[in-house]
Amino acid sequence: MSHTFQVDLRGIVDLLSHHLYGSPRVYIRELMQNAVDAITARHEVEPGAPASIWFETPQVTGDGTLRVHDTGVGLTEAQVHELLATIGRSGKRDELGFSRAEFLGQFGIGLLSCFMVADEIRVQTRNGDHPTVYWTGFADGKYEVKTGETRAERGTTVTLVPRRDATDWLQPARVTDLARLFGSLLPFGVRVDGELITEKSWLGGTRPELMAFAEQTLGFTPFDVIELRVPEAGLTGVAYVLPIPANPAARSGHRVYLKRMLLAEGAEGLLPEWAFFARCVVDATGLRPTASREALYDDSLLESVREQLGDQLRGWLVSLAKRDPHRLHHFLDIHNLGVKTLALHDDEMLRLVDEWWPLETNMGRMPMKDFRERFGVVRYCATIDEFRQLAAVAAAADLAVINGGYIHDADLIERLPALDASILVDRLDPSDLTTRFDTLDPATELALRPFLATAQRSLDRLGCEVVMRSFDPIGLPALFLVDREATFQRQLRETREVVDDAWAGILAAFEKAEADSRPQLVLNHRNPLVRRVAALGHDQLIGLAVESLYGQALLLGHHPLRPADSALLNRSFLGLLEHAVPGEIS
Ligand SMILES: Nc1ncnc2c1ncn2[C@@H]1O[C@H](COP(=O)(O)OP(=O)(O)OP(=O)(O)O)[C@@H](O)[C@H]1O
């Protein structure tokens, strides 16, 4: 024996109000939507038929109810039974059950949202010359149907008898605001207590109109407006470029209308993630809503729209570079982070960054392209600390270096050969610098041997080699230089000592026996203080001075301090203080 499901309407309404819809306010949207669909359906067979929708709030009805009238197609008695009283049944699907593109509704649940604010829904409807049908649905799931006095005009009137705790939702100001919010762009005139709330569409407006729309509705004056069009989804609209930096991690929401009815003020998923510098306002006929009608349904069409809108934004950027480089600079000042993120995967964006985004270099700020043209190899430091430490020294040695330490810069520099295989990129290895420094003449070198031997003894236990070279700037007494490969090998060895055998075996495969060059403390023979230290002839004092030069060079280069380094810094400082402050306490 087969049975039919029973539906507990209260349970369904509870589900809708607490889990599907964000707020009861959507009931106005659902009422308008049904009225619009009914007019659209009537126009299919009667193109010149009147097309209006009007709300009457309790202020006009006088009995506490809210009424909405439409001049739509209306329903016959059979349809009333079939459509109004069956949850999930919609008259807006084709024979195969697919929602029809010309209608807003598709799920067959919208009218139920009225139960969030009403105890009773009354529908009076006339389809063509069929008898006028009177249907009343109650929140407890019962309904009544009867035919009665003929309605003067074809169409439908829906009357809501408010729930005691929901009368606020039916008040004139609320209804007007909500009708305007959701329906201001609807193609048919909508009135609330006589006041027209539909307005001329911003779609296809002039640039000043579009700018004014952003100011009024989104609350900012955009940097620029980009017109958008995706015929495949019947999408038209604009992207507003934000005038201030946006957080790339925050998901950006867009104002989306579906068939001119507002879907959401913060819909996600319309643009690719990288396009966080833009906010869209669009209307689409082809995109689908989720059942709550508060978000876009993420299907393959939305994916294709996302891609095409991404292309349109990218196209705008590239053309801005050609048309108005000055403005592009301004744009990059605001949104460089987003553009750089994009350039990590996108060659065209990389070209844009290459040509226009000025990077910090030790020869002044300039884009990578200019840097290449002037200096050939794109040499860079991968961290800000490394750059700060080496920029002046490298400049004095005629070596141009880019600071690749800011977010994404080093990765972008490394990606440059993807644009042109002939581009040479080189990460500056600090130890390469020593080869650029001047060596001392043999006589000086010989004379300094005893000093260097003493200096070396004091730094031996720290695994540091001491050398003396001549370099600029003269004011810099010492430089701590680490060979990157050597650092890696040292860290590898240290890690091997603390991990278990299996891991140690794996790490051993990366070890290179020959690479054990130690970090260097390069003392600057041009620096007067270094010369005075070298001339001290007092082993203990030389030890203290070299240790403190070592410590200072470490700090200057923002190198990590090991416990032994901190202890040495402490000791050398106190030791030097002892020498500087002679005498005994009596
Ligand atoms: N004002 C109206 N005029 C004519 N028919 C209506 C009207 N309001 C509702 N209907 C009929 O009742 C059906 C159910 O309406 P309901 O709002 O519950 O669902 P829907 O509009 O089909 O889909 P959705 O849940 O997506 O809004 C509609 O499909 C439509 O056939």
**Residue 70 assigned as binding residue:** yes
- From CA 442, how far away is CA 448, in angstroms rounded? 10
For CA atoms 421, 423, 429, 432, give the dihedral sign.
positive
- Cis peptide bond prior to 473, omega within 30° of 0: yes
Ligand 1 atom with the shortest distance to the CA of 112: 18
Coarse DSSP helix, strand, coil percentages of the chain, rounded to the nearest 5 percent: 45, 20, 35
Q: Is 144 annotated as a binding residue?
A: no
Q: Is residue 476 part of a domain?
A: yes
Say yes or no: 158 and 244 in one domain. no
Choose the final residue of a domain: 196, 216, 247. 196
Cα(210)–Cα(206) distance, integer angstroms: 6
Domain count of the fold of the chain = 4
> Do 249 and 382 fall into the same domain?
no
For the domain that residue 314 is a member of, what is the CATH number?
Answer: 3.30.230.80
* Exposure class string for 89-119: b at 16+ Cβ within 10 A, else e: ebbbbeeeeebeeebbbbbbbbbbbbbbbbe
User: Residue 422 annotated as binding?
Assistant: no
Is 46 within 8 Å of 144 (Cβ atoms)? no
Rounded distance between C-alpha atoms, residue 54 and residue 139, angstroms: 24
331 occurs within a structural domain: no
Burial of 204 (0-12, 13-18, 19+ CB in 10 A): exposed
Of 134, 169, 196, which residue constitutes the final position of a domain?
A: 196
Question: Ligand 1 pocket: which of 37, 70, 79 to mutate (most atoms <8 Å of CB)?
Answer: 37
Do you know the residue count of the chain? 586
Q: Is 535 inside any structural domain? A: yes
How far is residue 384's CA from residue 403's CA, in Å, rounded to a whole number? Answer: 6
The confidence score (pLDDT) of residue 515 equals 47
In 3-state terms, what secondary structure has residue 441? Answer: coil
Q: How far is the CA of 94 from the centre of ligand 1 (A)?
A: 14
Q: How many C-beta neighbours within 10 Å does residue 238 have?
A: 24
Task: Give pLDDT tens digits for 199-239.
Answer: 888 777 899 999 998 998 888 999 999 999 999 999 999 99
Burial degree of 124 (CB within 10 A; 0-12, 13-18, 19+): buried
Contact 150, 130 (CB under 8 A): no
Q: Does residue 294 lie within any of the structural domains?
A: yes
> Under 8 Å CB-to-CB from 252, ≥6 apart: which residues?
246, 268, 271, 275, 276, 278, 279
Please report, for the chain, how many H helices and E strands are present, in that order.
19, 19
CA–CA gap between residue 239 and residue 254 (Å, rounded): 9
Report the CATH number that the domain containing residue 379 is assigned in CATH: 3.40.50
User: Is 239 contained in some domain?
Assistant: yes
- The answer to whether the beta carbons of residues 8 and 141 sit under 8 Å apart is yes
- Looking at this protein, which amino acid is placed at residue 471? F
**Ligand 1: distance of its center to the CA of 108 in Å?**
6
Same domain, 88 and 164: yes
> Do 145 and 56 share a structural domain?
yes
Please tell me whether residues 89 and 183 are part of one structural domain. Answer: yes
For residues 304 and 584, give the distance between their C-alpha atoms in angstroms, rounded to a whole number.
84
Give the single-character DSSP code of 99. Answer: B
Task: Say how many Å lie between the CA of residue 177 and the centre of ligand 1.
Answer: 23
pLDDT value at position 175? 98
Quick check: 116 and 16 in contact, CB under 8 A?
yes
Using the mean position of ligand 1's atoms as its centre, give its distance from the Cα of residue 485 in Å.
Answer: 71
Question: Both 56 and 186 in a single domain?
Answer: yes
User: Are 33 and 173 in the same domain?
Assistant: yes
Please indicate, yes or no, whether residues 217 and 192 belong to a single structural domain of this protein: no
Pocket test for ligand 1, best of 21, 28, 90, 288 (most atoms within 8 A of CB): 90
Chain position carrying tokens 């050969």: 417
Ligand 1 centroid distance, CA of 111 (Å): 6
pLDDT at 433: 82
Give the span between the Cα atoms of 511 and 509, in whole angstroms: 6
Q: Is 156 annotated as a binding residue?
A: yes
- Residue owning the nearest CA to atom 21 of ligand 1: 105
Check residue 501 and give its pLDDT. 74
Torsion of CA 200, 205, 206, 208, to 10 degrees: 60
- What CATH number corresponds to the domain at position 471? 1.20.120.790
> What residue type is assigned to position 176 of the chain?
T
30 annotated ligand binder: yes
User: What is the distance in A from the centroid of ligand 1 to the CA of 49?
Assistant: 20
The domain of 234 spans: 207-321
Where does a domain end: 150, 169, 196?
196
Rg (CA), the chain: 38
| Structural contact between residues 176 and 28, judged by C-beta atoms closer than 8 angstroms | no
Any binding-site annotation on 34?
A: yes
- Given the DSSP bridges, would you call strands 261-267 and 254-258 parallel, antiparallel or unpaired? antiparallel
In the numeric block, the tokens 């080699």 are attached to 465
Residue 437 lies in a domain: no
Reduced to 3 states (helix: H, G, I; strand: E, B; else coil), residue 151 is coil
> In this structure, which residue's CA is closest to atom 19 in ligand 1?
108
User: Given this model, what pLDDT does residue 5 score?
Assistant: 80
Whether residues 54 and 166 fall in one domain: yes
Task: Give the domain CATH number at 83.
Answer: 3.30.565.10
Give the integer Cα–Cα distance in Å for 10 and 129.
35
Contact 487, 447 (CB under 8 A): no
Q: Does residue 498 lie within any of the structural domains?
A: no
Residues 18 and 37 in one domain: yes
Helix (H, G, I), strand (E, B) or coil at 131: coil
Q: Whose CA is nearest to atom 6 of ligand 1?
A: 34
Q: How far is the CA of 217 from the centre of ligand 1 (A)?
A: 30
- Nearest 5°: CA angle at 88, between 264 and 33? 40
Q: Which atom of ligand 1 is nearest to the CA of 108?
A: 19
pTM above 0.80, yes or no: no
Q: What are the tokens at 220?
A: 């900012």
**What is the whole-number distance in angstroms between the Cα of residue 129 and the centre of ligand 1?**
20
Tokens describing residue 242 = 């934000």
Distance CA 469, CA 525 (A): 6
Please report the atom of ligand 1 found closest to the CA of residue 103.
21
Q: Please give all residues whose beta carbon lies within 6 A of any atom in ligand 1, as ranges.
A: 30, 33-35, 38, 70, 72-75, 83-84, 90-92, 105-111, 156
Q: Sign (positive/negative) of CA torsion 307, 311, 316, 318?
A: positive
CB 122 within 8 A of CB 158: yes
Ligand 1 mean position, distance from CA 34 (Å): 5
Query: Which pLDDT belongs to residue 273?
Result: 81
Element (H, E) at 166: none
| Closest residue CA from atom 7 of ligand 1 | 34
Handedness of CA 388, 389, 395, 396 (dihedral sign): positive
Is the Cβ–Cβ distance between 155 and 105 less than 8 Å?
Answer: no
Task: Determine how β-strand 52-56 pairs with β-strand 189-192.
Answer: parallel
Beta bridge partners of 359: 366
**Co-location of 403 and 526 in the same domain:** no
Return the best residue to mutate from 13, 27, 34 for the ligand 1 pocket (most ligand atoms within 8 A of CB): 34
Cα(189) to centroid(ligand 1), Å: 19
* In-domain check, residue 88: yes
Q: Over its length of 586 residues, how does the chain's per-residue pLDDT go in tens digits?
A: 788 887 788 888 888 777 888 889 999 999 999 999 999 999 999 999 999 999 999 999 999 999 999 999 999 999 998 888 787 788 777 777 777 778 888 888 889 899 999 999 999 999 999 999 999 999 888 899 999 899 999 999 999 999 999 999 999 999 999 999 999 999 999 999 999 999 888 777 899 999 998 998 888 999 999 999 999 999 999 999 999 987 766 667 899 999 999 999 999 999 988 788 999 999 999 999 998 888 999 999 999 999 999 999 989 988 998 899 899 999 999 998 888 988 998 888 899 899 999 999 999 999 999 999 999 999 999 999 889 888 988 988 889 999 999 999 999 999 999 999 999 999 998 877 888 888 899 999 999 999 999 999 999 988 899 999 999 999 999 999 887 766 666 667 767 776 777 777 776 766 665 545 788 999 999 999 999 999 998 899 999 999 999 999 999 888 888 899 999 999 999 999 998 887 776 6
Is the same domain home to 13 and 162? yes
* 436: its two tokens: 């650029």
The terminus-to-terminus CA distance of the chain in angstroms comes to: 113
β 195-196/224-230 pair status: unpaired
For 38-90, the pLDDT digits (tens) are 999 999 999 999 999 999 999 999 999 999 999 999 999 999 988 887 877 88
Helix (H), strand (E), coil (C) string for 24-82: CCHHHHHHHHHHHHHHHHHHHHCCCCCCEEEEECHHHHCCCCEEEEECCCCCCHHHHHH
Question: What is the reported pLDDT for 582?
Answer: 77
Residue to substitute in 70, 73, 83 for testing ligand 1 pocket (most ligand atoms within 8 angstroms of CB): 83
What does the block give as tokens for 417?
């050969």
